[in-house]
Amino acid sequence: MSSRIAKQPQGGIRWLLLVLAILNVLSCVAGVVGLVAAGPDLFGEDILAGTTFEDNYGLAALALGFVGLVQLTALIVHLRRSPWLGVAHAFAGMTMMVFIFVEVLIIDTYFFLQPLYFALGALQLSLSPLMRGLLPSNSPDHES
């Protein structure tokens, strides 16, 4: 019975990581489409004015697309039930956090979505080590 109890939180964490990855992929796709289609009109002002990305919303969309691809990779690894599931989510969460951190450094404008997505990345990163798949346990050096 104790092994059954121990597996229940992992199942909940597994589902939460799945939901986070899906939400992040969809958000990145929506962001890329918005940046490409609307550019500065998406925010009502040119928030990239005076930055490295000035008038280059395509480059910003490319950077966000990279974050989305990393999240999509974590989602695919998750759905394939790979033993690297934990590592994929950790990398995806860290990528999201770094993207938001760099965005805050470059853009001197506050959006309520920045702390939200930073928190989602931090949650994804924090939950990933709790998965047994973080490191394959079938190695000869590691015995349970």
pLDDT digits (tens, 9 = 90+) for 59-93: 889 999 999 999 999 999 999 988 888 899 999 99
Helix axes 2-38, 113-127, angle to 10 degrees: 150
Q: CA angle at residue 69 from 64 to 74, to 5 degrees?
A: 125
The predicted pLDDT at position 56 comes to 82
Query: Residue range 109-123: average pLDDT?
Result: 90
CA–CA distances in Å: residue 69 to residues 21, 41, 104: 11, 25, 21
CA atoms within 13 A on the CB side of 109: 12
| 131 touches 10 (CB < 8 A) | yes
| 75 touches 114 (CB < 8 A) | no
Rounded Cα–Cα distance for residues 86 and 91 (Å) = 9
Rounded Cα–Cα distance for residues 34 and 82 (Å) = 33
Give this prediction's pTM: 0.80
Tell me the pLDDT band of 10, cut-offs 50, 70 and 90: low
The predicted pLDDT at position 7 comes to 42
Rounded Cα–Cα distance for residues 46 and 35 (Å) = 11
* Secondary structure class of 4 (helix, strand, coil): helix
